[in-house]
Amino acid sequence: MTTAQTSPPAVARPALAAGRAPHRRAPRVPGTARLIAAILVILAFVSPIYLTVVNAFKPERDIVSDPAAPPIHPTLSNLSTALSRPDHLLQLGLRNSVITVVCSVLLLIPLGSAFSFYISRRRTRLRAAILALLAAGLMIPPQVVLLPTIHILTLAGLDHTYLGLILSNVGGGYLSFAVFVYVGFMRAIPEEIVEAARIDGAGGLRIWWKIIMPLVRPATATVAIFLSLWIWNDFLNPLFILGPLQGQTITTGLYLSVGQFQMNYGQLFGIMFLAGVIPVAGYLVMQKQFIAGLTAGSTK
């Protein structure tokens, strides 16, 4: 989410030690006590998420009487109310978010990796300068480029279109992130591999696609996962670039329709639960790669 849609877990290198088990030392605190402490601390930490989940399945009366209790009289009515809204907030929002995320990421990965491959092959001053220019994109606040981007899109006839939103995602700070991750990985690939392929007569495109891409699969996983998450949770670009007429992404849809209502807790938590469940499910499925990606970023 907020974590800087453009911030990199720094220069990456192939993940070596992602899942290595730490060595067991003689525990100074007894194991069970420590585990219980850990569980309590983490549960308190994620209590807002816990509240969202349990209350999405509780009748209003139970939420008010004890918000923290598990659903004793479980109900699906909050979820069905959320899904049967006349504006189809969730269905349309989720669909639009999927379109935006999938198209953006499918474009960002080949563009980012091919660019990184090209730029990391030879170290010249020009290429270093271009790389520095791209790195700068990581810290540009999106508010700085927002209105000019809209002007450019308007002139090209792409204002408030999905294509416009997707292209501005692809060209914006996200590309910087992809390049940053890929360059780190690609510099670690021995030059000989590329040379050998060249001698065999393979062209640049072929080498990149057939040889390099399989080698940097962890980088692709990192880029795909993080960019999907950030683009899914993006707020400012869809709010301004897409606007209200082409339908909302789930994030802006929530903001625009939940705001000012007297909405009871059950309805609110029902909507929040359904809106949040896709990225969370995605994260739970992909968490191995997710954490590996972070590990790749944080070890040098």
Partner 1 sequence: MKSRSRWLRDVRNDLGLRLIAATALLLYVIFIVVPVLMSLHSSFTDENPLQSGSNFIGLANYRTMVHDGELHATVLYTLALALAVTVVANVVGIAFAVLLNRSKLSYRVLRTVAFLPQVVSGVIVGFVWKTILTEDGLLNNALTRLHLVKEPVDWLGTPHMAQLSVGIVVAWVLSGFTTVVYLAALQNIPPELYDASSIDGATSRQQFRMITLRLVAPATTISVTISLITVLKLYDVITVLTSGGPANATESTAQYIVKLAFTSDRFGYASAVAMGLLLLSAVIALSVTSFLRRREIDL
Partner 2 sequence: MFRRCLTAAAAVSLLLLAACSSSPSSSGADGKVTLTYLTFNTPSLTPTFWKNSIAAAQKSVPGVTIKQVVAPNTDRDSYAKQLKASGQFPDLLQSITPSQYTSANLLQPYDQSWIDANFLLPQGNAIKGKVYIPPTNSQIIPLVFYNKQLFARAGVQPPKTWADFLAVCAKLKSAGVTPIELGGNDPFAAAVPLTGAISADVLGKDPKWLQERYAGTVKFADANVVAAATKMRTLVSDGYFEKGALNVSYADSITQFNDGKAAMYPMGSWYLGSVPKDAWDNIGVFPWPTDDGSVVVPFAVGGSMAISTHAPDIKAATAFAESWSLSPDNLKALIEGDGAFPMLKGKTLADYKVNVSPVFTDSYGYVTQTNNKVSSIGWATNDDAMPGSLNNDFYAAAQALFNTADVAGQMKKLDSAWNTASK
Chain residues that interact with partner 2, rule: CB under 8 A: 86-87, 147-148, 150-161, 163, 167, 240-241, 243-246, 255-257, 259-262
Select 145 or 189, whichever has its Cβ closest to partner 1: 145
| Tokens 């220019």 -> residue | 133
**Is 242 near partner 1 (CB under 8 A)?**
no
**Is 51 near partner 1 (CB under 8 A)?**
yes
Q: Provide the minimum distance between the beta carbon of 143 and partner 2 in the complex, in angstroms, as a whole number.
A: 13
**Is 266 near partner 1 (CB under 8 A)?**
no
**Is 45 near partner 1 (CB under 8 A)?**
yes
Q: Provide the minimum distance between the beta carbon of 272 and partner 2 in the complex, in angstroms, as a whole number.
A: 17
Residues within window 207-236 making contact with partner 1, judged by CB under 8 A: 208, 229, 232-233, 235-236
Select 159 or 206, whichever has its Cβ closest to partner 2: 159
Contacts of residue 28, defined as CB under 8 A and 6 or more positions apart, other chains included, come to none
172, burial (CB in 10 Å: exposed 0-12, middle 13-18, buried 19+):
buried
Select 46 or 102, whichever has its Cβ closest to partner 1: 46
| Contact in structure between 87 and 257 (CB atoms under 8 Å) | yes
The count of chain residues that interact with partner 1, using the rule CB under 8 A, is 105
Q: Provide the minimum distance between the beta carbon of 204 and partner 1 in the complex, in angstroms, as a whole number.
A: 4
Residue of 2, 73, 122, 157 that binds partner 1 (CB under 8 A): 2
| Contact in structure between 67 and 51 (CB atoms under 8 Å) | yes
Short-list 174, 43, 153, 209, CA closest to 103: 174
Q: From the list partner 2, partner 1, none, pick the one residue 87 interacts with, judged by a Cβ distance below 5 to 8 Å according to partner type.
A: partner 2
Alpha helices in the chain (DSSP H): 31-45, 47-56, 60-65, 77-83, 89-121, 125-136, 142-155, 162-171, 173-187, 191-199, 204-206, 213-215, 217-233, 236-237, 250-258, 265-298
**Is 130 near partner 1 (CB under 8 A)?**
yes
